[in-house]
Structure 1
């Protein structure tokens, strides 16, 4: 590439040896591309590995702040955007790859994100592997290319989503059998990460202990026989051992007990098909409050005690199992609508005394503050609220007619 630093003129030479010229170029648009390293003495940049098509996309982004990412160009585009430190193109590629995550590509996307320092994409791809481990371990060809350390790190995680621990053992066997000579010696290290005490005794005796890789390893047999002995000696239905966390749970909050409102919270473990009580304050006085889940906490917002309406907000931590009073709303609200979006909580409409409200406000946990936002077009009470594609939708059903309002965050403004 020929680049005249003084004149606004660019020429670049690529792998095809094609010369292109862009006249009257604003150098500030290309500062990230060319100013991260010293200008060559002959003022010539040579990029022999960059295709003209990808370079054109990067330069086009400099002018338009937009780029078309496709399955055909995303890999090369991400590599070159990383080389040139074009963060906008990198983010566009990451967003595209996130949308395309599936069982067949999640491992390679995770590795690609790690290679090009895209931590958000890597985290989402890694969670995808954990949450879809049964399918990945049984079907993915990329799974077979994992290193022993990568596989060990995966199967030790509490978040590994498997209905039966036998699935982990069978995934290990599939991984080893892909290259048995080189990987057979890794069985002791991998079996150590399997939660043997979560397996039925019959499976340990009939399947695990009789596997050739296990039976030929004293270390493996010691782990298996110890687990069998503990299971046989235990009087409990399940020994005290660390179980895997479910990837998703269902929370039931509030309701009524003996004609009085309740703060009872129960958690449904989808994997165990079991409800677990988390909290129950018998002296709860507020009902008709809004409820939202955000960052591991349940927020109970506003409410009505049959005498007055409340602006108070209570937060229940699922980790510490404790209640905390947090920042109050600007307005008292009962029968309100609540939704979460981009790490914030939105409280909309509701009642205040005999008046229906159309006002709305947003809570930011980092500052513990509520901020008034644009009001809805009409007052609403007891409306449903949900988020979809970066918007909050409020739905009110009155006489079989649906009135839908949209909240969209644009820069620092929220418009209905």
Structure 2
């Protein structure tokens, strides 16, 4: 077209063709005048293209001495070469293509190169993929990047899904500040926002007074007192009030904040106000923030917060008065009350555990049901409770040396054995311990070859078997199987599983070890394998009807009873039984309560299930299976029938 006598022509294919040719020149190293050295890898490119796309590189090139046709060298020692290659391709083609596991590295590289549009696209992608399992990891990444927009969106998600996130491993492994708060009579704690503002002020003042690191505060449960002037106090006031009501069998240890250092005490302000030049002002330069908080049950609170720049959990339990029952414990209690209707007899509910527990170890020992460790919304536990069916009561026995959850327990040669698991603050554990009921004490056993969480444990032929579990990153299932000889105190490697799995149910039946269900990554399994120690082989047998992880298992009348668990979406009530003679599974009556990661054992010739998580609450209740009626009941009468 020639308007006004001027030639005008627009070649729509020219730009695409030129871009493709320039990118081909870059990949072949032709006419390149920039060398990017990224962690030992060399990438070639053209100054003009990179200067147009990256304000950071524009500044680098612009600050160089007069360029005389040589090749510029730019080094990066903290970026992923694959991520930088993705950004180079984007600079030439305007197309951003990155595998999901590289997006965070691309984000980091884009931040360094000041490519804001790419940063935004990567951030939006991460937000679209975020779920309750990944939220904590994504928040840590966003914090390390200092990206306020990404942080605010992640924090909004956490605020909406805190209770679901609180069940995940990443949350349970965060550092934890545990608080016991005594209320002055007729007082109530303030709303969550005001409450944690007061907690943060108390933490700042405590660090200022003692001069100790934040980690020191987290070593033990801290005693606080909420006074009529709506302030939190530590020290003698809390000690006097709490000392009257701490239960004798509660193995939690309470500590008092050290007296203020003399030089600092003279400066202490009773209202915590300060200038930026004061010690507290210096502390305040770090990030202090309550991200999300929930009241999880009567008197129990959980909060995800940033204290002095550290992402951590604050667990808080209130005690209403010094005259409270001596059986009060800082756990999520969930009791079931059964009322008689009409002429029906009133049923007595089974006594609940003192502590709500999920991911606990259970076993029958000397006619009693032992429940050890586990976790609730507050912490991983080391306490151990023993249930006496004759008295229908729970009592504490010696606590384990290490807090642990997500483990299983077995009886071997009259002693309890626990191995691996997680303590909620670090990577999976390799340590184990054994309980001698005669001495009422736990002692260490030789460590596993690898750190392992969510592994199955059982005894067979006077040996302890540890099967499957999570790798040290907590995501990938293991095929490992190891056996322990208590006489030689040595571990032996056994044949590997056919399928990687963690959170599987494991038990012994008729001279075989069975591993049931579990998960590979987070995909629930219904497959079942059986180990023959005679020829050291694993063989697949009939699969379950329902895929599940975190189920409990017990042997009763020559059959395997698999109870509850999690199907990937919901905690389960359903129960099924395996008959080895027929090699098949059939469904039984469902429990009264959904339970994942509960404990199962046979007591008084009946199957008992205790604790677990129902999808909303951590449980301390127990229920029993009646084979005659094919029903589950939480009543004492069922146990005595």
- TM-score with structure 2 setting the length: 0.25
Q: Which has the higher contact order (CA 8 A, sep 6+)?
A: 2
- Greater per-residue helix proportion: 1
- TM-score with structure 1 setting the length: 0.38
CA radius of gyration, larger in = 2
